[in-house]
Amino acid sequence: MNEGQQPSPPTGRFKNILLATDGSEFSRSAEMLTAAFLLRFGGRVTVMQVVLFDPGLEPLAFELVQQQEKITRQSLDEVKERMKQQGISCNLLIKHGQNPHQEILDAAVETHADLVVMGRRGRRGLARMMLGDTAARIVAQSPRTVLVVPRAGGSLWNTSILLATDGSPFSDRASAEATILAKESGLPLRVVSVVENKGNPSHFEAAGAAVERAVEHAKKSGVTVQGAVLEGHPPADIIADEAYNSQAGLVVGGSHGRTGFGRVFIGSVMERLLGKVSCPVLVVKGE
């Protein structure tokens, strides 16, 4: 996207959510945030859980899988009942496979989800879906926007939203979504870009232009917004410090970025950021 060009229209307002759970207390936070989101903004939700299954299992192991499926169905029924008590209807989905992350990715496509919500840590079924390999794969490979919720992040954000940008088209897409969420939530937006050294004029100017474009877009939408270029390395730590200092309730960033500002920024940085902040992280996907 050229300087001055408006960000692409958002893919939607997250009206079709896929909530991936494992029945643990960590997934409960993601469940609570999903319910709060739906009550505030509307939409529908499919709640899914993965039963680990290997076609080559021995008969005894197969029986264990059947027992696990029974537990899973009970867990999903409990989620459905909690949602019902809040006036929210939901669909339930059980997937079977050897790789939880792949089953979740497939389910996102099958249900036409525009947002995948998951907890940051797990105990069963999706136990590898924390800051480990599975979470990174979901964030990196999902064709849909992903919201990763920490254990303490079960409430809808009510302070401010922090947008991390590098000026790439992916960041512009994230800017559009962050602006929508800030406007509909009635919250201020803070836009930042990180450079390793402000003494590099080209990197500093590019970062400044990226921030300015996002700020102008938010202002035109009627959102209270501030922007800044931050200096330091690694970028994930700088963004995490900014999220803490600004008391951000949500951090937003794009799914991929450019090898600019001296480092690969958005994308890999968003994955690293997951374990460094205490608030939910929204990784925006888009064309």
The pLDDT value recorded for residue 265 is 41
Is 55 in the same domain as 130? yes
Do 253 and 177 form a contact (C-beta atoms < 8 A)? no
Is 186 in the same domain as 279? yes
Q: Is residue 249 part of a domain?
A: yes
Could you tell me the residue range of the domain that residue 64 belongs to? 16-149
Intervals of the chain under pLDDT 70: 1-12, 54-61, 121-136, 256-267, 286-287
Give the β-pairing of 263-264 and 259-260: antiparallel
Do 286 and 256 form a contact (C-beta atoms < 8 A)? no
Is 133 in the same domain as 235? no
Pick the last residue of a domain from 97, 127, 149. 149
Is 127 in the same domain as 196? no
What's the pTM?
0.87
Is 128 in the same domain as 200? no
The pLDDT value recorded for residue 143 is 84
CA distance 137 to 146: 11
Based on DSSP, count helices (H) and strands (E) in the chain, helices before strands. Answer: 8, 12
Tally of domains within the chain? 2
Is 74 in the same domain as 184? no
The pLDDT value recorded for residue 67 is 87
Please, what's the largest Cα pairwise distance for the chain? Answer: 66
CA distance 214 to 6: 9
Is 46 in the same domain as 115? yes
- Here the CATH number for the domain that contains residue 221 is 3.40.50.620
Do 108 and 116 form a contact (C-beta atoms < 8 A)? yes
Residue 245 CB contacts under 8 Å (≥ 6 apart), including other chains: none
Pick the last residue of a domain from 149, 181, 216. 149
